[in-house]
Every structure is written in C-alpha cells, then in structure tokens.
Amino acid sequence: MKAYDTKLKYTFLSIATVIAFLLLWQLLAVTGFTGIIPAPSVVFRTLLDKFSNPNPDGATLLKNIVISLKVSLTGLLLGIGIGVPLGWLMAWYEPVNKLVRPLFEFIRPIPPISWIPLTILWVGIGLGAKAMIIFFGCFVPCLINAYAGVKTTDQTLINVAKTFGASNFTTFRKVAIPSSLPLTFTGMRTALNCAWSTLVAAELLAANAGVGYMITMGRSVGRVDIVIAGMITIGVIGYVFSRLFDKIESIVVKWRTL
C-alpha cells in the first residue's frame, strides 16, 4: 500500500508539473512574450483540427501517424534484429569481433542523415529508403549495448556453467545473453529515441505524408502551430513506446526484481 501511495504521489506530481508548464506557456503567449510561438490552446485546437483537416500537408494527423509509425518501426526493428544479435556474437566470439569491428568502427561515427544520398542510389525513394536511414541510427546503440551487456557478464556465472559441463554455446545462450538483457534493453530504448529523432530527416526523402513531412510543410508555410503540433505528436508517441519498452523489459528481465 505504501508503494502504491508513493507511486500515486509521483503521478500527481508529474501531472501538476505538466499543467504548470502549460499554464506558464499560455500566460507568456497571451502577454506576447513568446513572439510567434502560439499559445498551447491554439496548438491544441490545431491538433484537433488535423484529425479531419488535411491542410497544409495533404493528410490528416491520423494518416501521418500511421505512415510515420510504419517507417520508424521498420527501421527500429531492423536495427534491433541485426544490431542486438551481432553485438552478442561480437562480444562472445572473438573471430566475429575481429571480422566485424573494423567495419563497425568506420560506420559508427557517421551521422544517419549522411547516408541519405547513398540510400537513394541503393533503394530509391519510398518506405525502404526512409526505414534504412532510421536503421543506421538504431543499429549502432543496439550493437554497442548488446556487446557491453555480454562483456560485463559475471565471470563467476560463466565458470559455474562450465563446471557443470555446459558447452561454450550453451553458456552463451543461457548465461551471457540473459545477463546482457538489462543493457540490451537500454540500447533498444536509445534506438527508439534515435528512430524518432531521425524521422523528420528520413521523411525529407520525397515524402508526401508523415509527421516529419507535416512538420516540414508547416515550417515552409509559416504555420508554427503545425510544427509544434507535430513535435508534440512525436513526443507523445515516443513516450508511449518508451513505457511499452519498460513493460516488456519488466516481463523479460523479471529476475531483476526477485
């Protein structure tokens, strides 16, 4: 009961902080202190209007969200599906590490948006191109954290497994991978943030819909309310997925709470 009361208290505190921020923003906007930045009430009306009004970007908010989710989740899942297993293998098998590391160290410092020209040449424009840009942003943190998770596995656990006759692969599968999951999930959460942060750049690739495209069109026509509405939409969706990752982690890595 005490833990529940503490959680409820912090929930109310978080809500109060958001309300206080919105009230301060509204006050500053009404007094003209924020300049061209509209009041939150105006942004809220714009958000409601975008559910039925396709202007100025040619699509409703719901359509933009669906398209952006398709792009971002495709890139994110590719980054997780390739980066995490590869990070595990590099950390456990030295030949794989020797083979992959030089190329990875070359790719790692390159910003995702730098791949845009090559991506257009490789896969053209469309969903594949945008997803690939997001993939490059998600792949790196997934691999790094999965690698670090395996490398920080308690050597005592490895020795115990080997003492009981476990093979190298069995030790990797039943000891190293489970031990790496907390850091691996940290990498996936970082990748989720990267997916949304590169979304706007990815949707510059001849897009005709999407939240990033909506923001770009809002900027081009001087609709600051559209820009902020798009930013809020990305923030809310990102928050929802972050909470979803927390829930999945609590289920998969439930032994941490035992």
**Following DSSP, what letter does each residue of 156-174 receive, concatenated?**
HHHHHHHHTT--HHHHIII
pLDDT at residue number 36: 83
Per-residue pLDDT at 258: 46
Q: What is the pTM of this model?
A: 0.86
Which pLDDT belongs to residue 179? 92
Segment-wise mean pLDDT, segments of 10 residues, the chain, 258 residues: 68 87 90 86 94 91 93 93 96 95 90 84 81 92 96 92 90 94 93 87 77 90 93 90 86 66
Distance, CA of 232 to CA of 251 (rounded, Å): 29
| pLDDT (0 to 100) of residue 117 | 83
